[in-house]
Amino acid sequence: MTSSQPRASGIDRLSAHHLHALAVAVLIDRYLKVDPTPGRLADLAGKVAGFAEKELFPHFQVEETALFPALRQVLDSDPLIDELIAHHRNMEKLVGRLAGSSAQGRASLLRQFGASLRRHIRMEEVELFRQIGAQLDEAGREELGRKVDEAAGAMGLTVHRLW
């Protein structure tokens, strides 16, 4: 995307979440590397679950109810969108298994979650958002941004404090 193609505010809102989620992935790596004791892993698992429930899963819902349906109508990217939705379900499953896992299981789940989050965000930012910039005109981008903003408002979606 070039600076001559401003992004709609709704898309910028999602990108702000993506940056926040990448910060969570960095924190997961750091915890796992520096102090992966059972107590610290339990603490990290609780924080990650809180972030997921308050911010990440509502973000998935905004994408799935507003962004993706609108994009299916204007872009030829159904396989990519299907794959992104499969990532969402997989990350929800990983987080759902955190609470009932052993310390060793938690370390593995957290590692998988962090890696999946990075891969997913890269795919949305680099592949999906680039297509929006390349294939929608300004009016199309604005309409898309409005739909995302409406869905985000209805969900009460904000960027939460990390910990």
Say how far apart CA 77 and CA 88 lie, in whole Å. Answer: 17
Residue 34 to residue 36: CA distance in whole angstroms: 6
Nearer to Fe ion, 41 or 152 (CB): 152
Q: Which is nearer to Fe ion, 124 or 149 (CB)?
A: 124
Let me know the angle formed at the C-alpha of 51 by 49 and 56, rounded to the nearest 5 degrees: 105
Taking the complex as a whole, the smallest distance from the CB of residue 60 to Fe ion amounts, in Å, to: 6
Q: Report how many residues bind Fe ion under the rule CB under 5 A.
A: 2
Residues 67 and 139: their CA atoms lie apart, in Å, by 15
| Cβ atoms of 145 and 88 closer than 8 Å | no
Chain positions 102 to 131 lying near Fe ion, rule: CB under 5 A, are 124
Q: According to CB under 5 A, which residues from 46 to 75 bind Fe ion?
A: 63
By C-beta, is 107 or 152 nearer to Fe ion? 152
Site of interaction with Fe ion (CB under 5 A) = 63, 124
